[in-house]
Structures are given as C-alpha cells and as structure tokens.
Amino acid sequence: MSAESAGTIALPTGEEIAALGQGTWYLGEDPARRAQEIAALRLGVDLGMTVVDTAEMYGGGAAEELVGEALLGRREEIFLVSKVLPGHADRKGTVAACEASLRRLRTERLDLYLLHWRGRWPLEETLAGFTDLMAAGKIRHWGVSNLDVADMAELATLPGGDAVAVDQVLYNLSRRGIEWDLLPWCREAEVTVMAYSPIEQGRILQVEALGAVARTLGATPAQVALAWVLQQGVVAIPRSGSPDHVRQNRGAADLHLPTEALDTLDAAFPSPRGSTPLEML
Ligand SMILES: NC(=O)c1ccc[n+]([C@@H]2O[C@H](COP(=O)([O-])OP(=O)(O)OC[C@H]3O[C@@H](n4cnc5c(N)ncnc54)[C@H](OP(=O)(O)O)[C@@H]3O)[C@@H](O)[C@H]2O)c1
C-alpha cells in the first residue's frame, strides 16, 4: 500500500511534514504485544502518518529498537524524530546519545532531534551538540520539547538558536494553556508546534461533550480530539499499539469540525483566561 496524504504542516524551512504522526511511548516493552505494535506502526505509515516520534528515554531504548525493526526498509517514507535526555545534553553527551539512538533505530540520520526537556546543562551546550550533529549529517533539524515561552525566548537569543524547528509540548482539549502565550509566540517566531498526548492518554475520551460531538459527526471521540488539534495548525502524534485504533486515528485527518462542534468543545474544555505554566507529562 502506498502512503496517502493525511495533510501537512510546514517546518520553518518550508519542508512539509505529515500533520498527523505516531508516538511510541510505552511501545516495545511487552514481548507479547510486539507483533501487533509493529503492525500498527507500519499501518500508520501506510496511511500517511509518517512522522514517527520516539526517544532514548522510552523503555530505556526499547521503543527506538521497535521503531528500527518496524520501519526497516521504509526509512525514506518517514520523518523520524527522537530526543536526548536532559542529563545527556551537554555538547559531547548530545552527540553520543544521538549516535546510540541511530544504532537502535538502524539508521544513519534523524529528521528531527529534540531536547526532551530542559535540565541542568546550559542550552548553549545542547545547541553546540545539535550543531555538531547537523554538520556531520546525523540530524536534519533540531528542536526542543517542554520549553515554555521564557525558555524559548532565551534560546532565540543564542547564536544559532533561532534555527529551532519545533517545540513539542503537551496539548489537547483538556490542556489548552499554550493558547495564551506559547502558541502565539511560536507562530510569530515560526516555530512548528507538535502536540504530545493529543488524546490525553485516553483520559478525555469519556467526556460527555466529546462523545456528543462525535455522535453528531458520525465520528469517534478520539477522532474529534485529534481533528481539534489538527485544526489549530499543530502536529499531533497519537500513540497506539493497535492497528484498529491507528486506522481510526487516521480518520481524524479527514474530519472537519464545524463551528457548532467547536463551540460545544469550547464550552466543555474552555480556552485559558490567563498565563499558566506549561504542563508536562
Ligand atoms: N516530549 C514529551 O515530553 C512527551 C511526553 C509524552 C508523550 N510524548 C510523545 O507523544 C506521544 C503521544 O502521547 P501519549 O502516548 O502520552 O498519549 P496519547 O497519544 O494521547 O494516548 C495514548 C493512549 O491512547 C490510546 N489510544 C490511541 N488511539 C486510540 C483510539 N482511537 N481510541 C481509544 N484509545 C486510543 C492508546 O492505547 P492503544 O495502544 O490501545 O491504542 C494509549 O493508551 C507519545 O507516545 C510520545 O511519542 C512526548
């Protein structure tokens, strides 16, 4: 099966990536589920969910190994994202961590490499590591995760810091805080926003208003929650180890939420009324 378009969002360089991708947290940790998880990831790529997000942290490398196995021979079809742990994120540690991720992922380069969250190393150190990796052709873009406005503004003042491509943050119907300041900041600075836990790890799927909107549109709650993220112009990376759920999630890219649906969702999940610190999971 060839990849079908699921809609795209531009990186600051103008490169278009799939708006709907796939997460991998907790995948690769249970041998009994491995075959199904591999099938789910491969199906997602077949369906155009070609942004695949992983991290050295997930299962201590187990998720990266699963991705490496699942997508062997399909590297050119995907936009591969991984992350360096804050404790590894000095200049040399960033390079070493990336090289270890590349080995587990069975590839020679990442499309995007993120600082997982801000830790004890100065941002300059991580940036120097990213710059070394770019020069060596081991990563194509770099970015950050879980950085709020003040950290982003600081990063932008560093030499080369304005090349940050992505901020990956917690964003879904029940976590709308970024709409107050971080999302507008990123739009202004042309930093692409990637929403993690876009269905709140399943916790929002039972909310009655979401179910009501889904019934009206002939969709599922997960599809409505994902379509809502996509309609904000934000990349969504739902994780599923189930082919049925992956197929369902792909349907979100074809779902348009009309004004009445958006109003119902706004009433149940209000937008922020002021600045709140960035939440993380
Ligand atoms: N940068 C960071 O700090 C950070 C933090 C958290 C997550 N992430 C990334 O973002 C990805 C997504 O976030 P997440 O994994 O935390 O949560 P999520 O994608 O919001 O939710 C995942 C959960 O939802 C279930 N699910 C998926 N599709 C479903 C559907 N159609 N119907 C019902 N249940 C469904 C999955 O179970 P099944 O497997 O059974 O489908 C799983 O339990 C992660 O995997 C990771 O790659 C990044």
Closest to 94 measured CA to CA, from 122, 62, 60, 59 = 122
Residue 24 CA: nearest ligand 1 atom is 45
Using pLDDT thresholds of 50, 70 and 90, give the confidence band for residue 3: very low
Extract the tokens encoding 61. 């490398």
pLDDT at position 5: 62
Atom 14 in ligand 1: residue holding the nearest Cα: 197
pLDDT at position 6: 73
Q: Which of 80, 199, 280 to mutate to test the pocket of ligand 1 (most atoms within 8 A of CB)?
A: 199
Determine if ligand 1 sits within 6 Å of the CB of residue 82.
Answer: no
In the predicted structure, residue 257 carries a pLDDT above the cut 50: yes
- Residues in Cβ contact with 84 at an 8 Å cutoff, skipping those fewer than 6 apart: 56, 93, 94, 97, 98, 101, 113, 114, 115, 116, 126, 129
When pLDDT is averaged across residues 124-140 and rounded to a whole number, the result is: 98
| Angle (deg, nearest 10), helices 62-70 and 34-46 | 60
In the predicted structure, residue 1 carries a pLDDT above the cut 90: no
pLDDT at position 131: 98
Using pLDDT thresholds of 50, 70 and 90, give the confidence band for residue 4: low
Extract the tokens encoding 47. 């369906």
Q: Rounded to the nearest whole angstrom, what is the distance from the C-alpha of residue 196 to the centroid of ligand 1?
A: 8
When pLDDT is averaged across residues 7-12 and rounded to a whole number, the result is: 97
What structural domains and CATH numbers belong to the chain? 8-202+234-241 (3.20.20.100)
Determine if ligand 1 sits within 6 Å of the CB of residue 23.
Answer: yes
pLDDT at position 199: 98
Q: What is the pLDDT of residues 163-180, one digit of tens each?
A: 999 999 999 999 999 999
The residue that leads in pLDDT, 249 or 6, is: 249
Per-residue burial over 126-144, b = 16 or more CB atoms within 10 Å of its CB, e = otherwise: bbbbbbbbbeeebbbbbbb
Gap between the Cα atoms of 134 and 107, Å rounded: 15
Q: Which of 196, 223, 228, 247 to mutate to test the pocket of ligand 1 (most atoms within 8 A of CB)?
A: 196
Residue 239 CA: nearest ligand 1 atom is 19
